[in-house]
Copies of this chain bind each other. A is one copy, B any other.
Amino acid sequence: MQHCDTLILPRWCVPIAHTGEVLEHHAVAISDGRITAVLPAAQAQARFQPSVLVERPAHVLIPGLINAHTHAAMTLFRGLADDLPLEAWLHEGIWPAERRWVSAEMVRDGTELAIAEMLRGGITCFSDQYFYPEIVAEAAVDMHMRATVATPVVEFATGWARDANEYFQKATDLVHDPYADHPLVTTAFAPHSTFAMSDESFAALRVLADQLDVRVQIHLHETAAEIEISLRDTGKRPFERLIDAGLVNRSLLAVHAVHMIEEEIAHFADAGVSIAHCPNSNLKLASGIADITRYREAGLNVALGTDGAASNNLLDLFSEMRTAALLAKAKANDASAITASEALHMATLSGAEALGLERSIGSIETGKLADLACVDLSSLNSQPVYDVVSQIVYAVRANQVADVWVGGRHQLDNGEFTHIDTDGVFARCNEWRERIATTGEIL
């Protein structure tokens, strides 16, 4: 008998590695944080002597979901400024709240709430853009969550940095140490948007990104107004400014990309750019509906993101999968557009590709990191089961996630957190709520 740390015996397994493959009565073995075997359950039980055996007879095992775009700390602003026109939402709701409240302490507490929510819903890796990224990274490491921490770059002063130079310096510090080769955290640069960046800053960013071999993510073509304003102020579409800055390449993650003309889609596809599609946020802010069916046909890699909880209001990739698939059908006027299987791929392996992590995570394959989620299909709302993947995308709610492993660590065990002090998370969340709700300074 061969030892392994953990042997998982789910009823079904969707490895994602091979399109459409659904395994029944298979086992997944984990040792030293990695997947060491995927094989029929009977063979596994004959071969392995596991330290921990996890039997899940009504469950489907999937790769941990990957949230390709969020602002984790903003969970503390969830529901603070809803149903406002976009300009009022920013100018009267979110920006004043950020100016008043964002601090290292707020980012720590908000990120912890976000990580707990994401883990509870089967997300094992998130890509974050927010101030105090060093705090986000610390929270991820302390809670044993995988993260791409993208350091923000804007031209204006915030509590975190005074000017573009200081943003660059802080970003460079974070990339170098201590996350140069970290088992959980990778770093990236996040120029906020083309309207927040001068040509000079873009030039400096490109040099740094090339030197340090760091990926870049940016909000792009989220609204029609963004494009109009760029044309008015610079004579160029935001897309063109990125081209001119030399940033359109395989390392680029374009967030939102709601409004794209055919030429831009083709150019992105040729360059190997990834898209972080955030359908619920795009609806809630009335930004528009991205034509992801077209993007995928053109060969673009489309990942899914929740965006921040101020514009969603959930950090829930089951909801994003469902909305992405349903909305794509309406947009394409074709009920067969974006199948359940494609939506699940977007939330897993496409997310890994968008973060440059596809060799490590995003599918259940021997040798990959053991980032896994096990989903209970025995609820009333997910019975009967004819098609496991259809249930995952169209019928499952995030609370049906029973188990989560991050790098082999069993973070959620049959619905219970094993290592995370949720009482503390709730207590700190409530302290912030009292402070934020009672000032009366916003809204």
| A interface, CB within 8 angstroms of B | 76, 78-80, 82-86, 88-89, 113, 116-117, 120-121, 280, 282-289, 309, 312-316, 323, 325-327, 329-330, 332-337, 339-340, 378-381, 383-387, 390-391, 394-395, 397-399, 422, 425-426, 429-430, 432-433, 436-437
Contacts of A325 in B (CB 8 A): 83
Contacts of A378 in B (CB 8 A): 426
A394 and B339 in contact, given A383-B78, A385-B433, A387-B79 (Cβ under 8 angstroms): no
Contacts of A399 in B (CB 8 A): 379, 397, 399
Contacts of A288 in B (CB 8 A): 330
Interface of A is mostly: helix
Q: Please tell me which one of the listed residues B315, B333, B335, B390 contacts residue A89 in the complex, with CB atoms under 8 A apart.
A: B335
Contacts of A386 in B (CB 8 A): 78-80, 433, 436-437
Contacts of A84 in B (CB 8 A): 335-336
A146 CB to nearest chain B CB (Å): 18
Beyond A82-B339, A313-B390, 5 additional pairs, beta carbon < 8 A: A116-B380, A286-B329, A384-B432, A384-B436, A397-B398
The answer for the CA separation of A378 and B437 in the assembled complex, in Å, is: 17
A384 and B329 in contact, given A83-B336, A85-B334, A395-B314 (Cβ under 8 angstroms): no
The answer for the CA separation of A179 and B285 in the assembled complex, in Å, is: 46
The answer for the CA separation of A255 and B112 in the assembled complex, in Å, is: 44
Contacts of A282 in B (CB 8 A): 330
Q: Is B390 touching A79 in the complex (CB atoms < 8 A)?
A: yes
Q: Is B83 touching A314 in the complex (CB atoms < 8 A)?
A: no
Q: Please tell me which one of the listed residues B78, B430, B433 contacts residue A395 in the complex, with CB atoms under 8 A apart.
A: B78
Contacts of A113 in B (CB 8 A): 380, 383
Contacts of A285 in B (CB 8 A): 329, 335
Identity of the chain B residue whose Cβ is nearest the Cβ of A330 in the assembled complex: B283
Contacts of A120 in B (CB 8 A): 380-381
A348 CB to nearest chain B CB (Å): 18
A384 and B284 in contact, given A85-B335, A336-B85, A397-B398 (Cβ under 8 angstroms): no
Contacts of A76 in B (CB 8 A): 384
Q: Please tell me which one of the listed residues B80, B381, B385 contacts residue A314 in the complex, with CB atoms under 8 A apart.
A: B381
Q: Please tell me which one of the listed residues B312, B333, B425, B430 contacts residue A394 in the complex, with CB atoms under 8 A apart.
A: B312
Q: Is A332 touching B79 in the complex (CB atoms < 8 A)?
A: no
Q: Is B82 touching A315 in the complex (CB atoms < 8 A)?
A: no
The answer for the CA separation of A121 and B283 in the assembled complex, in Å, is: 24
A126 CB to nearest chain B CB (Å): 14
Q: Please tell me which one of the listed residues B78, B326, B422 contacts residue A283 in the complex, with CB atoms under 8 A apart.
A: B326
A394 and B79 in contact, given A429-B384, A433-B385 (Cβ under 8 angstroms): yes
Q: Is A384 touching B327 in the complex (CB atoms < 8 A)?
A: no
Q: Is A329 touching B284 in the complex (CB atoms < 8 A)?
A: yes
A59 CB to nearest chain B CB (Å): 15
Contacts of A332 in B (CB 8 A): 286
Q: Is A385 touching B329 in the complex (CB atoms < 8 A)?
A: no
